[in-house]
Amino acid sequence: MRVLSLHVNGDRVELAAPDHWTLLEVLRYRLGLTGSKQGCDKGDCGACTVLVEGQPVLGCLTLAASCGEKPITTIEGLMPAHLAAGGTGPDPVQAAFDRCGALQCGFCQPGMILSARALLNRNAQPTRPEIRAALSGNLCRCTGYTQIVQAIELAIAESLGVEPCAPAWAPGTNPWKLAAPAEPGA
């Protein structure tokens, strides 16, 4: 058992945990941050993805005692970070997942969103192959991925103020208007 001083979602937290606990276990069972999911628990699925120093890593294979002071972001920290940066509402990637219906059971979603957020932070205009590559360590057993990629493309389009490109499954259409307020009388 040792006392860890972690830097989670902008807060300093002190907690006691044994050396053999993973970061995922500490987040979920010491800090109550159950947004990070415990899927395979052995590196296969990406459900436990969190950002350490802004980059996606797997919480289930990271020893909590090795994290030191490095800043850690979980899904719970995204919206507060967005608000603190002057935004309104949830992180635009979260909002786009919501609008595109980019989930079914939702188990993969925190990891997917964090991988996507890290991608957009290092490259504001990734191509579709770059999006797919950045998400290739996150498995989804429900959606078939199409809406997930679409959601990220929607978030990109909105950040640039342009119309999103047509979804892969319906070329030539545009189901999502820009995030304008509800139309009058609608």
Partner 1 sequence: MLRLPQFELAQPRTLDEACALLVEHGEEAQLVAGGTDLVPNMKHELFTPKVVISLAKVAELRGVRQEADGALVLGALTTLEALAQDERVRARAPALAQAAGLVAGPQLRRMGTLGGNVMLDTRCQWYNQTYFWRQALGFCLKKDGSACHVVAGGAKCVAAASNDTAPALLSLDAELVFHGPAGARRIAIDALYSADGIYNKTVRGEILVEVRVPATPAGHRGAYGKLRERGSIDFPLLGIAARLDLSADGTVASAALCAVALQARPLRLKKAAEVLLGTRPGTADFEAALQEAGALAQKQCHPLDNIPGDADYRREMVPVYVRRTLLAAAEGSGPVHHV
- What residues line the site for ligand FAD (CB under 6 A)? 43-44
For ligand FES, the closer of residues 45 and 154 by Cβ is 45
CB of 1 to ligand FAD, least distance (A): 23
Question: Rounded distance, CA 98 to CA 165, Å?
Answer: 18
Strands 71-73 and 2-8: parallel
Instruction: State the DSSP code for 40.
Output: S
Question: Rounded distance, CA 74 to CA 94, Å?
Answer: 13
What are the backbone dihedrals phi and psi of residue 3, each rounded to the nearest 5 degrees, phi first? -90, 125
Indicate which single residue of 4, 51, 67, 103 sits in contact with ligand FES (rule: CB under 6 A): 103
43 binds ligand FES (CB under 6 A): yes
Which residues within the stretch 119-148 sit at the binding site for ligand FES (CB under 6 A)?
Answer: 140-143
**Partner that binds at residue 57, options ligand FES, partner 1, ligand FAD, none, CB closer than 5 to 8 Å by kind:** partner 1
For ligand FAD, the closer of residues 43 and 54 by Cβ is 43
Question: Rounded distance, CA 108 to CA 66, Å?
Answer: 25
> In Å, how far are 79, 112, 125, 144, 167 from 95, measured between CA atoms?
10, 13, 18, 19, 17
CB of 137 to ligand FAD, least distance (A): 9
Question: Rounded distance, CA 55 to CA 172, Å?
Answer: 35
Indicate which single residue of 58, 114, 118, 135 sits in contact with ligand FES (rule: CB under 6 A): 58
CB of 105 to partner 1, least distance (A): 18
- What per-residue string of b and e applies to 143-165 under the rule 16 or more CB within 10 Å gives b? bebebbbbbbbbbbbbeeeeebe
Q: Rule CB under 6 A: which residues touch ligand FES?
A: 38-41, 43-48, 58, 60, 103-108, 140-143
Q: Rule CB under 8 A: which residues touch partner 1?
A: 18-22, 38, 41-44, 46, 49, 55-58, 60-63, 65-66, 115, 133-134, 136-139
